[in-house]
Amino acid sequence: MEWILELAPAWAEAHAPALIVVLPLLAGPICAFLPGQGRTAWLFTVLVTGLCTLLALVLLAQVQSVEGGAIISYAMGGWEPPFGIEFRIDALNVLVLLLVSVIAFLTSIFGWPSIQAEINEEKRAMFFGAFQVCFMGLLGVTATGDAFNFFVFLELSSIATYVLVALGSGRDRRALPAAINYLLMGTIGASFYVVGVGFLYASTGTLNMADLAVRLQDVGGNRAVQVGFAFILVGLGLKAAMFPLHQWLPNAYSYSPSFVTAFLAATATKVAIYALVRFLFSVFSLEYIFEGASLALILAPMGIAAMLACSFQAIFQSDVRRTLAYSSVAQVGYMLLGISLGTAAGVSAGMFHLVNHALMKGALFMAVAGVVLTYKGTRIHDFAGLGRSAPWTMTAFAIGALSLIGVPLTAGFQSKFALVSALLSSGWWWAALIVVFSSVLAVIYMGRILEAVFFRPPNNPQKRHKEAPMLLLVPLWILALANIWVGINGNFVSGLADNAAAALFVGGAQ
C-alpha cells in the first residue's frame, strides 16, 4: 500500500480523517440546490463518494505503514483530546471506512436509472442531498473518537435515512409507515445510547473514548458504569437490528427506493456492529464481569436466535426483498456470535463476515433493483424464468445467493469457515453445528428463488428479453466478482479483519 502514499498529495495525507467526513457534509446542501433534474446532483454524488473512497485508501495505507497498525489521531480545530473532538483511525475502523466508501461509490453509480424510475423529478436533487448527509453520518460515526460526537453523527445519519426510506412512497405507499416505524425505533435506540453515555460521563468526567477506557479502569465496574453499559448495549443493538430489536428492518428494506435498500443493507447495520465492537472491546474491557456476562448471556443467545428464527421467517416470505431483509437479520446473528466469543479469532471472523455480507447483500439488492426497474415485480412469482430473460442480472444474483448460503469458492464460505473454526477453538462445537444448520436453512430460502429464476417458465413467454441498464450491471458485477475473488483468495479481506481484531487485543491474540 506504500504506492498510495507516494501518489497521494500532502494535504490528503495530513487531513484525510477530517476530509472523508467534511466532503459529504458540504456536498449535502450543495446537491439539494443543483439544477438539471437531479442528473447534476447524481454526477456530483458519484464524484464525492469516489473521492471519499480514495481518502479511505489513503487512511488504510497510513494505518498499514506501521507494523501492527498505526493509530491516527486528528484533533478537530487544533483542540487536543481529551478536551477537543478527536477523529481516531486505527485498523478496526479504517476497514469500515473503506467498506462504507466503496459501497457508497458503487451504489451511487448504479443508482441513477432506479432514481429516475422511482423518485419524482422535483425531489431528486433533495434525495441526493439527503443521501450525502446519511453517508457523512455513517463515516462520522466510524471515524470519531468522541462518544457524544458519535451520537451527533448517528442522529444525522438516521434522520437522513428516515427521509430516504419515506421517499419510497412514490413506488409503494407502505414506505411511509415503514419510515415512521424506523424513526420511532431509531429514536429509542439513540435515546438509550445517549443516556448510557450520560452515565459514563457522570462516572468519569470525559467523553473521549480513549480517555474513557483509561478512566473506567480507575473507576471500576460501579453501578453507574454498569447501567451506562446496559443502555449503550440496547441502543446500539437496536441500530444493528439485533434480534429481537430488528422489527424496523424488514419493512424499511422492503419498501425503500431500490438505491436506498442496496446502500443501507450493505452499510447501516455494519456501522452499528462496528460501534458495538468499539464499545465492547475498546471503551470497556473483558475484565469487567458484567461485560463477560453480556457476551455469554445476551449477545450469543440473541445471535443464535437471529440465525434460526429469522432464517425460518425468510423461508415463508413470498417477496424477494423481505426474504433478503430477514436474511440480513440472520446474518447479523453470525457477526454477533463471533463477537460474543470475546477472542481475537471470534472478532476477526465477525468482522470478516461483516465485510463479506456487505459484498453479497449489495449484489443481491442491486440485482433485485434491476428486476424492479425492468420487470416491475419483487415477488418470487415475478422472478420466474428471469434466468433466460435477464441472464446477466440473474447470474450475478445467483453468485450473491450462493455466497450468502456459504458455497465453497465464495466469500460467504470463507467467513463462515473462519467463524466455525473460531467456535471450535473455543469449545463451542454446539454453536458451530447451529451455524451449519442455519446455512442449510439459507439453502432453502435462497433455493426457492433460484429455482424460480432458472427452472420455471417465464410468466409471460411473449415478453421481450430485457437486461438491466449498463449503469446498474457494472457495479453489480463488480460486487459479484468480489464475492468470487474473496472466495478464492480472501487473504486481503481476512488480513484486514485480523488486523482489526488485533487492534483490540494486546499482542493480537486472546
Q: What is the pLDDT of residues 39-74, one digit of tens each?
A: 899 999 999 999 999 999 999 998 888 776 788 888
- DSSP secondary structure string, 74-129? EEGGG--TTTS-EEEE-HHHHHHHHHHHHHHHHHHHHHHHHHHHHS-GGGHHHHHH
The amino acid at 196 = G
The amino acid at 248 = W
The pLDDT of residue 461 is: 59
**Per-residue pLDDT for 508 more than 60?**
no
Write down the mean pLDDT value for the chain: 88
The pLDDT of residue 507 is: 41
Distance of CA 458 to the CA centre of its chain: 34
The pLDDT of residue 510 is: 37
**Per-residue pLDDT for 120 more than 60?**
yes
pLDDT (tens digit, 9 = 90+) per residue, 252-294? 888 888 899 999 999 989 999 999 999 988 888 766 656 667 7
**Per-residue pLDDT for 213 more than 50?**
yes
Instruction: Average the pLDDT over 20-31 and give the result.
Output: 92
Q: Please report, rounded to a whole number, the percentage of residues in the chain having pLDDT higher than 90.
A: 52
Quickly state the pLDDT bin for 1 (edges 50, 70, 90).
Answer: low
What the block records as the C-alpha cell of 57 is 485508501
Q: Please report, rounded to a whole number, the percentage of residues in the chain having pLDDT higher than 70.
A: 96
Lowest average pLDDT, out of 83-92, 281-290, 300-309, 469-478, goes to: 281-290
pLDDT (tens digit, 9 = 90+) per residue, 333-386? 999 999 998 888 999 999 999 999 999 999 999 999 988 888 877 888 888 888
The pLDDT of residue 194 is: 93
Please answer whether residues 95 and 502 qualify as being in contact, where contact means their C-beta atoms are separated by less than 8 angstroms.
no
The pLDDT of residue 462 is: 53
What the block records as the C-alpha cell of 369 is 433493483
Please answer whether residues 69 and 498 qualify as being in contact, where contact means their C-beta atoms are separated by less than 8 angstroms.
no
The pLDDT of residue 129 is: 92
The pLDDT of residue 210 is: 87
The pLDDT of residue 83 is: 81
Which H/E stretch holds residue 307?
A: none
Residues 6+ apart with CB under 8 A from 6: none
Instruction: Average the pLDDT over 189-196 and give the result.
Output: 92
Please answer whether residues 400 and 367 qualify as being in contact, where contact means their C-beta atoms are separated by less than 8 angstroms.
yes
Query: d(Cα 485, Cα 500) in Å, to the nearest integer?
Result: 21
The pLDDT of residue 289 is: 57
The pLDDT of residue 446 is: 93
Residues 6+ apart with CB under 8 A from 306: 242, 243, 246, 329, 330, 332, 333, 336
Alpha helices in 240-319 (DSSP H): 249-255, 258-278, 289-294, 300-305, 311-315
Please answer whether residues 118 and 46 qualify as being in contact, where contact means their C-beta atoms are separated by less than 8 angstroms.
no
Residues 6+ apart with CB under 8 A from 357: 266, 270, 328, 331, 334, 335, 412, 415
Query: d(Cα 344, Cα 95) in Å, to the nearest integer?
Result: 16
The pLDDT of residue 70 is: 82
The pLDDT of residue 32 is: 85
**Per-residue pLDDT for 409 more than 80?**
yes
The pLDDT of residue 460 is: 64
